[in-house]
Structures are given as structure tokens and as C-alpha cells.
């Protein structure tokens, strides 16, 4: 069972979500297709469990943040760590906390985030909303930013830089009077780093949260 999840995650990590098929997984395990169904009932459950398997590492890597004197700083650390794990695994976001029966680590991570929120002494409802917003922001943006690039890039026909250039050129061709914002930020977009973008947005959210706690 442990081997099934390990190999499933390995398959997902090296070749993305479409590479995880029961046939490929069985071949990797040196077994038959049907055997996998002894351990999981469906592919959805396999991905549920794979997600939780990955979260074990995240849980370990975020332990160091929980004792930070500043709970907001702790949330920042936890969130960034989770983002790093999720951005390379767009499937993780979709299976995170989907079935807590199979996913103890999902629950523990949510609790870990919530533990920091508790230190802000908000009302229960505000705490619930805050923790959900933090987790949702991280997971949602990671899923968004981690999505597979178009097929031209995957197949290697187009460099990532060339692809970016083509998009930017298309945008530059638009009427500046109709798209003033796009033309304002296009230079930033051209050389942007996804991780920076995530962090900047995340800091906005955390700042809003800090302000709510101060009230």
C-alpha cells in the first residue's frame, strides 16, 4: 500500500497527472492492473490518498513555524511551504481535504493553520473564515499557477521564453486606449516570477488578517 502511493506520486511528479494510469502504475509496481484495486476503490481515492501522502512532508516542513512569536509570520511560513509543494503538483489542490476520512494529513495541516489563527483571538466565525481563506488562497493559486503549459511548450516545440514572448506580443498589439491596465503592467508581466506573484498576494491577505486581529 505504501509502495502504491509512493510510486503513484513518483509517476505524478515526473510526468504530470495524465501519466498516472492504472496500467502505468501497475507496470512500475511490477504487478497487474487489477491488483491496485485491492488497495483503492477508484482513481479518485488513489489521488485522495496520494495527496495526503505528499502532505506528510509538508506537515514536517511546516512544523518549525508553529512556535514563531508572530502568528502572522507563522502563517506566512506555512502558506509558502504549502504553495511550494502544491505548485509543482496542480492535482494536489483539487484533492486537498476532499475526503478527510482518507486524509488525516489534510486535516492536520488545516489544524496547523487554524492553530495560528487561534492566536489572533478572533471570534469563532472569523477564525473559521480566516483559516479557510488562507488555505484556499494558497491551494487555489497554486492550482492556477501550476497548470500544465500549452502543448507546444510541453512537446518542446516552443521554449517557455518564446511562448511568453508570443503572449506578450499579442497583448502589446492591443489598443492601449482600450487596455490601459494591460499596457501598464506588461513589462512586469514579461519578466515576472510566479512565486513572487503568489507571495505578494498572500501578503496582502495576511495584512488584511492582521488588521482584523488588531480590531
Binding site for DNA (CB under 7 A): 20-24, 26, 29-35, 37-39, 41-44
95 burial type by CB count under 10 A (0-12 exposed, 13-18 middle, 19+ buried): buried
The nearest distance, CB 150 to its own copies, in angstroms, is: 7
Question: Considering only 11-19, 53-61, 63-71, 93-101, which stretch makes contact with its own copies by CB under 8 A?
Answer: 93-101
**Residue 79's binding partner, choosing from its own copies, DNA, none, with beta-carbon cut-off 5 to 8 A by kind?**
none
Element (DSSP H or E) covering residue 5: helix 2-15
Radius of gyration over every alpha carbon of the chain, rounded to an integer in angstroms: 20
Q: Residue 136's binding partner, choosing from DNA, its own copies, none, with beta-carbon cut-off 5 to 8 A by kind?
A: its own copies
End-to-end CA distance of the chain: 49
Q: Which three cell numbers stand for residue 186?
A: 506588461
Picking from 60, 77, 27, 39, the residue whose alpha carbon sits closest to that of residue 199 is 77
Q: For residue 58, which phi and psi values (nearest 5 degrees)?
A: -60, -40
Q: Which does 6 bind (CB under 5 to 8 A by kind): DNA, its own copies, none?
A: none
Site residues (CB under 8 A) for its own copies?
A: 93-94, 98-101, 107, 110-111, 113-115, 117-118, 124-133, 136-137, 139-141, 143-145, 147, 150, 167, 170-171, 174, 178-182, 184-185, 187-189, 192, 196-197, 200-209, 211-212
Amino acid at each position: 500500500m505504501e509502495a502504491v502511493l509512493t510510486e503513484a506520486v513518483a509517476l505524478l511528479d515526473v510526468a504530470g497527472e495524465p501519466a498516472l494510469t492504472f496500467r502505468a502504475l501497475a507496470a512500475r509496481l511490477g504487478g497487474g492492473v487489477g491488483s491496485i484495486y485491492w488497495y483503492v476503490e477508484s482513481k479518485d481515492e488513489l489521488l485522495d490518498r496520494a495527496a495526503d501522502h505528499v502532505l506528510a512532508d509538508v506537515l514536517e516542513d511546516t512544523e518549525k513555524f508553529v512556535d514563531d512569536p508572530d502568528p502572522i509570520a507563522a502563517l506566512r511560513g506555512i502558506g509558502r511551504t504549502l504553495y511550494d509543494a502544491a505548485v509543482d503538483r496542480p492535482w494536489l489542490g483539487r484533492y486537498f481535504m476532499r475526503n478527510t476520512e482518507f486524509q488525516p494529513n489534510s486535516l492536520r495541516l488545516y489544524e496547523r493553520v487554524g492553530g495560528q489563527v487561534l492566536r489572533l483571538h478572533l471570534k469563532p466565525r472569523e477564525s473559521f473564515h480566516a483559516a479557510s481563506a488562507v488555505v484556499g488562497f494558497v491551494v487555489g493559486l497554486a492550482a492556477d499557477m501550476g497548470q500544465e503549459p500549452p502543448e507546444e511548450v510541453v512537446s518542446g516545440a516552443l521554449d517557455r521564453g518564446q511562448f511568453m514572448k508570443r503572449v506578450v506580443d499579442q497583448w502589446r498589439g492591443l489598443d492601449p486606449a482600450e487596455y490601459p491596465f494591460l499596457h501598464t503592467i506588461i513589462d512586469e508581466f514579461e519578466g515576472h516570477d510566479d512565486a513572487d506573484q503568489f507571495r505578494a498576494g498572500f501578503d496582502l491577505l495576511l495584512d488584511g488578517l492582521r488588521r482584523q486581529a488588531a480590531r
